[in-house]
Amino acid sequence: METLLFFQQEVIPAFLKGLRVSILLILPSAVVGLMIGTVTGALRAYGNRGVRLVADAYATLFRGIPLVVQLFMWYFGLPYFNVYLNPFAASVIGFSLCSGAYHSEYVRGAFLSIKRGQLSAALALGFTRLQMVTAILLPQGFRRALPGCGNELIYLVKYSSLAYMITCIELTGEAKVLASMTFRYTEIFFAVGLVYLGLVTFASWLLQLVEDRFTVPGFEHHEL
């Protein structure tokens, strides 16, 4: 009874507040990350040597360095150049650049898996280059990249919790604050874990829906 009241009066309001921040972190990061990833992925697949080199280096660095380190660089490191970001902005930038690097990996792989012959065939049929890209390249690339990029979006939901480490108080942060005040760590963190589980499960379900909608024979994604 007392626990119920505690949840009603303290936990749920705090979680809702945190959840709102979490979603405000996740959505722009997802969109910007996907944009960065698509462009970088395309450059890595089709760019000339110099462009490829730069884009590959970006992907290697941002996939190789832990996200926490990256977040700390944006938040604590940028002032080195007299750029001061608030925790929220630093988080969004950090998430976008990091997940963009991962997206680029899937997008690149997707583009490279499309056989060149299909592009020649399109050109032979009289497609313009732009038509070839929009009618042949993107529809196939999208399908091939979907499972990987979708997974990356799901990871983003989980990794958004790291914003707390640079003092952006989102869902995990609210939980931590409340738990430290009430010492009810187990209930609160278990509850917050369930909220994330719900978010992740919902996102996976959504992704599955999109995949099913766009599936074409030969493009099935076999989950291991």
Q: Which of 27, 31, 51, 65 binds other proteins (CB under 8 A)?
A: 65
Rounded Cα distance, 75 and 8, in Å? 35
Q: Which of 61, 181, 206, 210 binds other proteins (CB under 8 A)?
A: 61
Q: Which helix (H) or strand (E) holds 58?
A: helix 49-64
Rounded Cα distance, 11 and 7, in Å? 5
Q: Which of 57, 201, 205, 210 binds other proteins (CB under 8 A)?
A: 201
Rounded Cα distance, 158 and 145, in Å? 20
CA atoms within 13 A on the CB side of 94: 31
Least Cβ distance, residue 79 to other proteins (angstroms): 7
Positions 167 through 186 that interact with other proteins (CB under 8 A): 172, 175-176, 179, 185-186
Kindly state whether residue 64 participates in binding other proteins, applying the rule CB under 8 A: yes
Read off the amino acid at residue 159: Y
Q: Which of 193, 206, 210, 212 binds other proteins (CB under 8 A)?
A: 193
Kindly state whether residue 99 participates in binding other proteins, applying the rule CB under 8 A: no
**CA geometry: angle at 151 spanning 141 and 163, to 5°?**
125
List of residues contacting other proteins (CB under 8 A): 61, 64-70, 72-73, 76-81, 158-162, 164-165, 172, 175-176, 179, 185-190, 192-193, 196-197, 200-201, 224
